[in-house]
Structure 1
Amino acid sequence: MVSKKQIERRIRELRSILSQKGIDAALITKRENYIYMSNFTGTFANLLITHDKAILVTDFRYTEQAKEQAQLYEVVQYQGNLNVTLNDLLTANNVKILGFEDGYITYKAYDDLSKNLSIDKLVPLERTIELLRLIKDSEEIELIKEAVRVADEAFSHVLKFIRPGVTETEIAAEIEYYLKKHGARGPSFDTIVASGWRSSLPHGVASNRVIEHGDAVTMDFGAICNEYCSDMTRTVFVGQPKEELKKIYGIVLEAQKAGVNGAVSGLTGREIDKIARDIISDAGYGENFGHSLGHGVGIEIHEDPRLSQQGTIKMRNGMVVTVEPGIYVSGLGGVRIEDMIVINDDKPMVLTSSPKDMIIL
């Protein structure tokens, strides 16, 4: 995971925001956010960050792990009722105004906090942690590079496995086995393998369909390494594809390269999306590209910023995003090509190294 120096910086930045908003402490319960703020990777924790203390509350299962991973935090083990422990800590630290993750906790959890904590006010944090996570520091980028590398190697490996007679599920299993065998905790999402007519399904999770000669095979997958994700897509052909699919491949490749090269600092996600979308629309396939061009990737596989027609966030150096245009024609098939990049002034750093020229197996 990242160094104590980076965790210290994140805590310091959060405290600065809390001061600006007049909030005494932040309660962080979303797993991706408490990983980001503490390095603790267990499945249950509550972080309580005041202006001078950082406390991690968890149960018996995770106290030892938390002490090892979250070295800048006081680890408190609760027994019985979690809210009683939280309330004791809030009282001891004179917390009257508590920030909570309004975009994450359920109404019931909010109601429980409101009724059981002796504070004056609950204040929405309004995605404060997610906004801190937008810009990846150098350590995060190195962790993401590792997840990208493992996925690239898995793609190279699986090309030797794909042939008529194997199923989509078998291809997905081979990819995921390779990922785990070579350092990944697992796939970063359900592996998509869509072949033949199913390749027109943008999120066609692997089925028992058998690969046939002439099929397009779209594979969209990623790895989780050290809690950071990767995401890539390649479409390959098993034998000679139909002429329209060849044409579509060329259009998607042109749009994808233009989207990558156009992803520069200062442009909004909407403006970058338009670069690639216009190429596909001008080629007559605008209605066959119905999803966004890309999304941020980090501890979560889908996070801000979004490269979409609604994307209003301006790109800044250090943002990590995907660029993944596609064309999907019902009954024929589809093509999608996806790379991960780091925004870097006017020359994006392309992380994905797998070849993009048409591959016919």
Structure 2
Amino acid sequence: MNINTLRQQVLTQDHSAIVIFSDINIRYLSHFSGHAATVLITNKTHYLITDYRYFEQAKTQAKGYQVICRDRANQTLTELMIELLHQENCQTLFFESEHINVANWQVMSAQISQQTLITTFMALVGTIEKLRSVKTSDEIAAIKQAATIGDQALANTLPLVKAGITERELAVELEYQMAKLGSEELSFATILGFGERSALPHGIPSNRQLKQGDLILIDFGAVVNGYRSDMTRTFVFGKASDKQKHIYQLVLDAQQAAIDKLTEGVTGKTLYQESATILHNSDYKDYAGEGLGHGVGLQLHEQPFLGESCNTTIERGCVITIEPGIYIPGWGGVRIEDDVVLTENGLEILTKSPKHLVEL
């Protein structure tokens, strides 16, 4: 269980506890998918605190947790935590410093220190996020299913590409197809740009109409059981120019260089360098995007973050994106992105949509 691993790593001394505020980390540890929740983990017990809106849901989803419905009108979260910390004789409290604001924590910690045996507060930074970077088989299966939805949604949408369609119209259709195929929500706001607007790495779909010769960049994803996919494909509407073909091949070669190097134990920095070498040795080095990719899971952007400063090693079970790009202002951009995972049988690419240059 994820929670047992966390206990072994953090609660190495008796009479200690961890308080979790992040919705994402709570879902990872307990499978509870609602909101307005706090998790308190002690050496022996794990509590999930919520209110009447999510109480029944939490009892169903958070198996093995003692689920507490807090009476918000008569008891603050801090008061309830003080009761539980007293009950457990806790002396050290680890807290998610990245997921609570300073003002709230100052008030909460002051009351806890005055009314409990807690003498030490320890910031918990990145510990759960690191655990989340290595996926279980169930997590990988959910991401794979989300990727399959994305692949099929794209295939269903491309036949609608025609002169005059707007970026917004095409994005809405793609999002509808993902929902129809079973996506719980959008993995993120769809990125879609035509022509010169494809040079915007995170361009919001506009009313720009499609014209002959335009590049079409589409970056999108689906969600299954909370787990996200993330894929980018770039097309040309009509016949591709020599420049478009050349830049597309550069990006494809850069992506493949990183994929070929992806083995257990390789660092994110090494993967980035393999890809960047190809782009930086080209005539378009000044237009190469920064970074190479990121982990993906319950959040779109998770550890590790692949780039020049990433010394994190890629482990079996890591699901990451590989997404080099070239973005030329006023002309257009090309990005090719896939979700990949290292398994006991080697590398698996989860996003299956064709990657050769397609002229629509």
TM > 0.5? yes
Determine if contact 2:289/2:324 at 8 Å carries over to the other structure.
Answer: no
Closer, same or farther: CA 158–14 of 1 in aligned 2, 3 Å: same
Determine if contact 2:11/2:17 at 8 Å carries over to the other structure.
Answer: no
Provide the rounded CA distance (Å) in 2 between the counterparts of 1:111 and 1:195. 49
Provide the rounded CA distance (Å) in 1 between the counterparts of 2:284 and 2:342. 28
Deviations 1:65-119 (A, max 9, x none): 0000001111101123121111111111112211111122211222122122132
Alignment of structure 1 residues 235-274 onto 2, 5 Å: 235-274=234-273
Q: CA deviation at 1:58?
A: 0.3
Provide the rounded CA distance (Å) in 2 between the counterparts of 1:346 and 1:279. 28
Provide the rounded CA distance (Å) in 1 between the counterparts of 2:161 and 2:13. 55
Counterpart of 2:97 (choices 99, 102, 117) is 102
Provide the rounded CA distance (Å) in 1 between the counterparts of 2:55 and 2:309. 42
Alignment of structure 1 residues 113-124 onto 2, 5 Å: 113-117=108-112, 118=116, 119-124=118-123
Provide the rounded CA distance (Å) in 1 between the counterparts of 2:15 and 2:147. 38
- Structure 2: tracts of 5 or more residues without a match: none
Provide the rounded CA distance (Å) in 2 between the counterparts of 1:327 and 1:132. 33
Q: Which residue in the other structure is 1:11 paired with?
A: 3
Q: Which residue in the other structure is 1:200 paired with?
A: 199
- Does 2:27 match 1:32? no
The residue identity in structure 1 corresponding to 2:122 is V
Determine if contact 2:213/2:240 at 8 Å carries over to the other structure.
Answer: yes
Q: Secondary structure at the match of 2:6?
A: helix
Q: CA deviation at 1:290?
A: 2.6
- Does 2:292 match 1:293? yes
Q: Which residue in the other structure is 1:6 paired with?
A: none
Closer, same or farther: CA 346–328 of 1 in aligned 2, 3 Å: farther
- Does 2:135 match 1:136? yes
Alignment of structure 1 residues 294-333 onto 2, 5 Å: 294-333=293-332
Alignment of structure 1 residues 274-289 onto 2, 5 Å: 274-289=273-288
Provide the rounded CA distance (Å) in 1 between the counterparts of 2:345 and 2:258. 12
Deviations 1:230-286 (A, max 9, x none): 000000111113321111001111111111121211111011001111011112222
Determine if contact 2:14/2:43 at 8 Å carries over to the other structure.
Answer: no
Provide the rounded CA distance (Å) in 2 between the counterparts of 1:23 and 1:311. 36
The residue identity in structure 1 corresponding to 2:291 is S
Q: Secondary structure at the match of 1:343?
A: strand
TM value normalised by structure 2: 0.95
Determine if contact 1:248/1:327 at 8 Å carries over to the other structure.
Answer: yes
The residue identity in structure 2 corresponding to 1:111 is Q
The residue identity in structure 1 corresponding to 2:133 is L
Q: CA deviation at 1:347?
A: 3.9
Q: Secondary structure at the match of 1:301?
A: coil
Q: CA deviation at 1:169?
A: 0.8
Determine if contact 2:95/2:124 at 8 Å carries over to the other structure.
Answer: yes
Determine if contact 1:245/1:334 at 8 Å carries over to the other structure.
Answer: no
- Structure 1: tracts of 5 or more residues without a match: 1-8
Determine if contact 1:264/1:345 at 8 Å carries over to the other structure.
Answer: no
Provide the rounded CA distance (Å) in 2 between the counterparts of 1:139 and 1:45. 24
The residue identity in structure 2 corresponding to 1:13 is T
C-alpha RMSD over aligned residues: 1.4
Provide the rounded CA distance (Å) in 1 between the counterparts of 2:125 and 2:16. 15
Determine if contact 2:233/2:335 at 8 Å carries over to the other structure.
Answer: yes
Q: CA deviation at 1:315?
A: 1.0
Provide the rounded CA distance (Å) in 2 between the counterparts of 1:259 and 1:164. 35
Provide the rounded CA distance (Å) in 1 between the counterparts of 2:274 and 2:227. 28
Q: Which residue in the other structure is 1:4 paired with?
A: none
TM value normalised by structure 1: 0.95
Q: Secondary structure at the match of 1:187?
A: coil
Provide the rounded CA distance (Å) in 2 between the counterparts of 1:84 and 1:66. 21
Q: Which residue in the other structure is 2:216 paired with?
A: 217
Q: Which residue in the other structure is 1:85 paired with?
A: 80
Determine if contact 2:184/2:224 at 8 Å carries over to the other structure.
Answer: yes
Deviations 1:216-243 (A, max 9, x none): 0100000111000000000011111332
- Does 2:61 match 1:69? yes
Q: Which residue in the other structure is 2:334 paired with?
A: 335
Q: Which residue in the other structure is 2:159 paired with?
A: 160
User: What count of residue pairs does the alignment treat as equivalent?
Assistant: 353
Q: Secondary structure at the match of 1:163?
A: coil
The residue identity in structure 2 corresponding to 1:303 is E
Q: CA deviation at 1:21?
A: 6.5
Provide the rounded CA distance (Å) in 2 between the counterparts of 1:251 and 1:268. 23
Provide the rounded CA distance (Å) in 2 between the counterparts of 1:242 and 1:107. 54
Runs of 4+ in 1 over 2 A off after TM superposition: 18-23, 343-347
